[in-house]
Amino acid sequence: MFDWSEFNYFKKEEFTCKCGCGLNNIDENFVFCLDEARDVAGIPFKINSACRCESHNKKIGGVKDSAHVKGIAVDISARDDKSRFIIVSALLAMGFKRVLLYDTFIHVDMDLTKVKPILKIMK
C-alpha cells in the first residue's frame, strides 16, 4: 500500500481512471518523481488523465500497450507556451526520459519498454 500523505501536491483521486471503474494502479515511484517535478516547477500540474483501464483506453483512442494502462503515465494540462516550458523543464530536470507534447497537454511516462530518451511533438 502506498502512503499518499508523503506527497505534497497530489491526491489519489487525480490518478484514478476517468471512466468510473475505480482503477488506480499508479506507480508510487512515478508519483514520487512527479511530485518532485511539481516542486521544481512551482506551478500547478493539472492531471488530465493518468490510470486507464483497457476499455477506457480503447474508448478514448489511446495506443495499444499504453503506459496509462500500466499506471506509469500522466497527461498534464499545458495550455500556453510559458507553462509548457516550465513543466517540461521541470520534468527533464527530474530525469524523466519520455515526454510527448500535445497542443493542450504534456504526456510523460516511465515506460522502459518504449523508446527513450524522447521529446516529441505529437500532431
Chain residues that interact with Zn ion, rule: CB under 5 A = 17, 19, 21, 23, 53, 56, 75, 107
Min. distance of Cβ 73 from Zn ion in angstroms? 5
Residue pair 122/100 in contact by the 8 Å Cβ criterion? yes
Min. distance of Cβ 108 from Zn ion in angstroms? 8
**What is the Cα 60 distance to its own chain's centre?**
16
Min. distance of Cβ 106 from Zn ion in angstroms? 9
Sheet containing 98-101: give its strands across.
Answer: 47-49, 73-77, 105-109, 98-101, 118-121
Min. distance of Cβ 93 from Zn ion in angstroms? 20
Would you say 70 or 107 has its CB closer to Zn ion?
107
> Residue 101 and residue 7: Cα distance in Å, rounded?
25
Would you say 6 or 55 has its CB closer to Zn ion?
55
> Residue 89 and residue 73: Cα distance in Å, rounded?
17
Would you say 41 or 51 has its CB closer to Zn ion?
51
> Residue 74 and residue 25: Cα distance in Å, rounded?
12
Residue pair 39/54 in contact by the 8 Å Cβ criterion? no
Would you say 7 or 25 has its CB closer to Zn ion?
25
